[in-house]
Amino acid sequence: MTDFAHCPSDSEQLRSEILHKMLGTVAAEPSRATKADLYQSLSQVARERLALRWVETQNDDRANHARRVYYLSMEFLIGRAMNNALSALGLRETAEAAFGEPGPSLDEVIECEPDAALGNGGLGRLAACFLDSMATLGIPSWGYGVRYEYGMFAQSIVNGCQVEKPEAWVQDRSPWEFPRANKHHTVRFGGTCEHHGEWAEWHAADSVEAKAFDYVIPGHGTERVSTLRLWKAAAPAEIDLGAFNTGDYQRAAEFKNRFENISWVLYPNDSTSAGRELRLRQEYFFVSASLQDILERHESEYGTFTNLAEKIAIHLNDTHPAIGVAELMRLLVDEHGMAWADAWDQCRRIFSYTNHTLMPEALETWKVTLIQRVLPRHILIIYRINQEFIDEVLRVYPGDMDLVRRVSLIDDGNGHDKDKRVRMAHLCIVGSHRVNGVSQLHSDLMVQTIFADFARLYPERFHNKTNGITPRRWLAQANPALSALLDERLGTREWRLHLDRLAELRPSADDVGFRAAFLAAKRGNKLRLANYVARELNIRLDPDSLFDVQVKRIHEYKRQLLNVLHVITRYNALLDGTAGDVAPRSVIFAGKAASSYHMAKQVIRLIHDVASVVNSDPRTRDLLQVVFIPNYGVSVAELIMPAANLSEQISTAGTEASGTGNMKLSLNGALTIGTEDGANIEIRDNVGADNIFIFGNNTAQVNAIRAAGHQPMDFYNNDPALKEALDRIDSGFFSPGERPRYHDIFNSLLHYGDHYLLLADYADYVATQKRVDALYLTPDEWQRKAILNVAGMGPFSADRTIRDYASDTWNISTL
Ligand code: 26Q
């Protein structure tokens, strides 16, 4: 790492560079500069240095005829760029010294930056962590995605309810982006096809321009950088001009809109967005532009496509870019004259695919009729791929038409053409040489359930790649207090690049002095969060209370409602004197609900209603506080993760593919209370079963309960504490102004089957929370276990994940 201890002359020099830049960028006089002005000019300094690194990296890769990895993702949840850029450039400490009295501090300046929130949650943040690791490991790598005008909505809370506000994250332009005026590709839609044997001529009805905007992704401990290239849709120039010339402004505007809306807004990850035509256009738009770009680069370097699979690997982040399989075939066969069989051989060696969910309702399918209309050439390609695949299946399993029906790329519906659908996951599996899940459990379940037939057909294709997170953003930058302590104790800054070195911390768990320092770092982080909560929500949190944190998208399977049931149970027990020895707790929630997801929004409202009752009760105020921190996103997470004592990872076993928040919290010294789900299991294996609170039914038990017919009413009738908690929700105790407000929540549990088995896990959850209290009341033991959590997190670095992808999936070497 090159963040040298700064010397005063460096910071003087940086200061004058910043002030000099100020004139050219914001035309402001230094003495009148606002924080935003300082942010703008500092970002220009960083931008120029990143640009230099970018040019050199590209020159190197071209000169070395490097094999490249292309990561295709509809989402990149980047967050702020400044702190990460300064760290990577080795400028953080110098910049810290260059700011401050009489002006604002570096941290105040950094806070001017809006988050780049071009993603919904875990999948998008994973893509961002992977870019960081790919650059750091020196992999010639490009991310490709969409430059949404509006990314994730901003969440505010009005009377306890979520309100969404569109957020234009770049007003005009971002200081971090490089618009590439000469990089654009035409993406076509609709029309008809004319066949010429193996290939076809596509007479498209419409076209749109994809314009490239590049973001430099700095590597850490290396001068190499990666590129995130995002595409913005623009109306084709000639159409625009045509309308303009006839003076028909209205028509010009309509045309512009019709095309430019393609990159307008990020789709939510809820089922209501499934099947929307604009989403399909968005997927094809960015995939086609990216593949054209990739082929153009390859052709300019080699003048042939025969060596394509030797020189490129393309990764599909879930099925969202799945149409790429058909598009690469189209480009190679129709546009570049390659024989179908050769193109298919290349295709399978080039693509790999990650699955992020087992839930059947979340598996992407598109109506055949829709693809036919929007992408007439691609539906033919998909049918041909399917025919050849089925022929292959029948050669191995002659006559097994049941198997054929199950694995076919086309779901036949009931035989009516209008109901036929393309199964995008099947297209990905058939078109790739590697398929992976994101935790060991998830990968195992994947081959045992949704992809069992494919795993039998192609056993060598299926792998596990347990997710990871970048230790640079999630520890070094988010938690300077703990980082300084680690540097001191480990005698090195190396853990930032070799997270396994945290294992050397284990002996320090028994060192009283270290435990005290560890506690002090945590307390500082809790104070920082408490100050934020006081400022934003006017709620006082006791920094010595146990910070119990559940932060993630609000979804029924993640079971925030189970957490609420525990809070109510605790409140009731405190009131009736049966609580026993409890540790003072601050229960902290954060997360967004998809705007059309009624149940999730009800849960947010319930949390607020419970909070207002509990927080204002003088009988319990010192022992229990509940807060909901609005607008959860990368930057809010950077504040919360370091301050947590307890990490809630309580999804129904078998539903959370991996989770990555679980890793961020544990890495920052929180203990986990969690189910045997996703990566929780591997976290247990690495931190030690004594240092984590695992509870509830495992996947086998969940299956057995469901098979026997889950009876939520039995749990309700036989557990008085549970009954009391549920009745309080249902009776309007927390919503006295509107007593029926939570009937739907109550009914979903008692009368509509409690699909996620909250009631089956409730008793063990509450009992386990009691053990959490007992441990927190033994601070030495708590600190010891918290330290052992940090020490065990080495394997959860995204660097480890990316090394595994590089060797098993992409066949590329790393630094
Ligand atoms: C699909 C079709 C139409 C519109 C939207 C979507 C869509 C968009 C986003 C579907 C799903 C997503 C996001 C999924 C996601 O974030 N999954 C999470 O991925 C993480 C990284 O692997 C895992 O850790 C989480 O367990 C998983 O839930």
CA of 317 to the centre of ligand 1 (A): 9
Amino acid at position 687, single letter: V
State whether the beta carbon of 267 lies less than 6 angstroms from ligand 1: yes
Strand-pair category, 206-218 with 177-189: antiparallel
Per residue in 151-209, pLDDT (tens digit) is 999 999 999 999 999 988 887 778 999 999 999 999 999 999 999 989 999 999 999 99
Mutate to test the pocket of ligand 1, among 316, 318, 652 (most ligand atoms within 8 A of CB): 318
What is the residue with the minimal CA distance to atom 25 of ligand 1? 659
Each residue of 40-57: b (16+ CB within 10 Å) or e?
A: bbbbbbbbebbeebbeeb
Instruction: Return the amino acid letter for 240.
Output: D
266 Cβ closer than 6 Å to some ligand 1 atom? no
The pLDDT tens digits for 531-540 are 999 999 999 9
The answer, yes or no, to whether residue 1 has pLDDT greater than 50, is no
Q: How far apart, in whole angstroms, are the C-alpha atoms of residue 21 and residue 19?
A: 5
Mutation to probe ligand 1, out of 123, 125, 359 (largest number of atoms < 8 A from CB): 123
Q: Which of 267, 273, 356 to mutate to test the pocket of ligand 1 (most atoms within 8 A of CB)?
A: 356
- Name every residue whose Cβ is closer than 8 Å to that of residue 240 and which is 6 or more positions away in sequence: 252, 255, 256
Indicate whether residue 122 lines ligand 1 (CB < 6 A): yes
Q: Which residues contact 782 (CB under 8 A, 6 or more apart)?
A: 645, 671, 775, 776
pLDDT (average), residues 496-503: 98
Sign of CA dihedral 469, 473, 477, 479: negative
Q: What is the pLDDT of residue 242?
A: 59
Atom of ligand 1 nearest to the CA of 354: 22
Which residue's CA is the nearest one to ligand 1's atom 9?
Answer: 269
Q: How far is CA 331 from CA 69, 201, 430, in A?
A: 19, 11, 18
Q: 281-310 pLDDT, tens per residue?
A: 999 999 999 999 999 999 999 999 999 999
Minimum mean pLDDT among 296-305, 360-369, 600-609, 740-749: which range? Answer: 360-369
SS3 216: strand
Residues designated as active site: 356, 552-553, 558, 660, 664
What share of the chain has pLDDT > 90, as a percent?
89
Q: In what order do the strands lie in the sheet with 624-628?
A: 624-628, 585-590, 546-551, 646-649, 671-674, 693-694
Task: Please check whether residue 219 is in contact with residue 225, taking contact to mean a CB–CB distance below 8 angstroms.
Answer: yes
Cβ–ligand 1 distance for 358 under 6 Å, the answer: no
* pLDDT tens digits along 732-745: 999 999 999 999 99
Looking at the DSSP bridge assignments, the partners of residue 626 are 587
Does the beta carbon of 659 lie inside 6 Å of ligand 1? Answer: yes
Answer whether 119 contacts ligand 1 (Cβ < 6 A): no
Q: Which long-range contacts (CB under 8 A, 24 or more apart) does 12-18 make?
A: 12/98, 14/45, 14/91, 14/94, 14/95, 14/98, 15/98, 17/45, 18/42, 18/45, 18/98
Helix or strand run (H / E) with residue 227: strand 225-234
Convert the pLDDT of each residue in 397-424 to its tens digit.
999 999 999 999 999 998 898 999 999 9
- For atom 17 of ligand 1, the residue with the nearest CA is 123
> What pTM did the predictor assign?
0.97
Report the atom number in ligand 1 closest to the C-alpha of 120.
9
Task: Please name every residue paired with 188 in a beta bridge, in sequence order, or none if there are none.
Answer: 207
